[in-house]
Amino acid sequence: MSADEVVALYDPDDVCGRVVGAAPRSRVRAQNLPHAATGVLLRRPTGEVFVHRRARTKDLWPGAHDCAAGGVVHAGETPLEAARRELAEELGVEGTELTEVFTGWYRDDDTHYLAHVYEAVWDGPVRFVDDEVEDGWWEHPAVLAGRLADPAWPFVPDTRRLLATGGLLGAGPQPVPGGRWEAGETVVYRWGREGRTRSARLARVVRHDDDGLLLWVGHGWPVVEPRLVDGRGIRELPIEERFTAPRARRSAAWRGQGILMLVPAAPTAWSVWWFFGAGADGARTFEGWYGNLEAPHALRTTVLGTRLVDSADRALDVWVTPDRVARWKDEDEFATITALGTRWTAAQAPGIRADGEQVMALARAGAPPFDGRWTDFSPDPAWPVPRFPADWDVPHVAGP
């Protein structure tokens, strides 16, 4: 560790991580500049977490306990590269797979950074290579959680909060209780798989009743979307490469005029969206319905009170015109992913198509929610643009 090492500076308003400059570590600390840092939770195959005591020479929280090996991301370095480097430097662990489980901004009077939290399974020796760690041991998660419940235990505040926020010791977001969410509340609607959110959209609750959860997404509201690692859109690739090329998450804004999204009260493998455009006079016009085929939804509330809707996209969708003519959408993408077998099997594909047939039948019959309700909807003009909460990226649960 050097006070003169060059640290990448990050945009504090970007939840995915956008590099905007660089500065010496000494200035980052002195001015509490926004940067990025990594933390790796090292676990045994039996589940124990490695806990260590920081060296008394550390520039932050010397001598305190921690269970995340990590440090700042250098200029020109990716978070994954930084995580691997720090794990090798602090604990002598190399060659193990790192799984990113959570990202989120942390800020206090001493530091301000975008945390990239990883997990790794390791059953080999642990060595304190660079003198940043004085001691360490394996701890059962329940014992560690008990220690963390004592605010007087000398444990670094950033990992303490990140563990609680992300539910990384087992106390994650709970299913929504019997009560309904209130109109105007912010909801993070997330699609993902294998525990990781791939894309997310901010919405506000319009109503939550016997019809289900109705949400509004406004023009220009923040979203997280997958892109190719070079920044291009996924659909710029030929379809045979589209679902195997490496991707990265990027912050963006909803480009449409605004949409309503309904998560039906009865468990379904689809949601329904109302699309709106602008007429010649500038007035909002209803353009049609979109049946988005996706995994059954998981509604949860985090320890910070954030409302989450988790699902997993299934590529095949249904478009319904205002006069209720229904047709398939993205059949080519559905066929390509089915052939790959990475998200669902060929044996499961007919069941997904049957979900789409159910949406089509409801639309052709003019049955709810295709009975004309909410086609003249106008959002509350007092709603401000929502912001992604600190715990928007806790582990994803729905799918495949």
For the chain, 400 residues long, the average pLDDT of each consecutive 10-residue run is 83 96 96 97 96 90 93 96 96 95 92 96 92 92 91 93 81 68 97 94 97 96 95 93 94 93 95 90 89 95 91 97 98 96 95 98 98 94 94 89
Q: Which fold has domain 6-166?
A: Nucleoside Triphosphate Pyrophosphohydrolase (3.90.79)
- pLDDT at residue 288, rounded to an integer: 98
Residue 52 near residue 65, CB atoms below 8 Å: yes
Query: Which residues on neighbouring strands pair with residue 35, listed in sequence order?
Result: 9, 113
Instruction: Identify the CA nearest to 320 among candidates 282, 354, 358.
Output: 358
Element (H, E) at 223: strand 222-228
CA separation for the pair 131, 65 (Å, rounded): 15
State both tokens at 184: 């105007």
Burial status of residue 280 (CB atoms within 10 A of its CB: 0-12, 13-18, 19 or more): exposed
- pLDDT at residue 282, rounded to an integer: 72
- pLDDT at residue 1, rounded to an integer: 53
Cβ neighbour number for residue 221 with a 10 Å cutoff: 20
Place of tokens 């991580």: 17
Residue 144 near residue 171, CB atoms below 8 Å: no
Annotated domain spans of the chain = 6-166, 178-365
Four-residue CA torsion sign, 284, 287, 288, 291: negative
Q: Which fold has domain 178-365?
A: FomD barrel-like fold (2.40.380)
Amino acid at 149: A
Residue 386 near residue 186, CB atoms below 8 Å: yes
- pLDDT at residue 2, rounded to an integer: 57
Cβ neighbour number for residue 94 with a 10 Å cutoff: 12
205-240 pLDDT, tens digit per residue, is 999 999 999 999 999 999 999 999 999 999 999 999
* Angstrom distances, CA of residue 251 to CA of 14, 16, 75, 223, 388: 6, 6, 20, 6, 10
Alpha helix positions (H), the chain? 25-31, 79-91, 141-148, 157-166, 331-340, 349-365
- pLDDT at residue 176, rounded to an integer: 66
Q: Report which DSSP code applies to 220.
A: T
User: Half-sphere exposure of 285 toward its Cβ, with a 13 Å CA cutoff?
Assistant: 10
State the Cα angle at 352 between 348 and 353, rounded to 5°: 115
- pLDDT at residue 168, rounded to an integer: 81
319-338 pLDDT, tens digit per residue, is 999 999 999 999 999 999 99
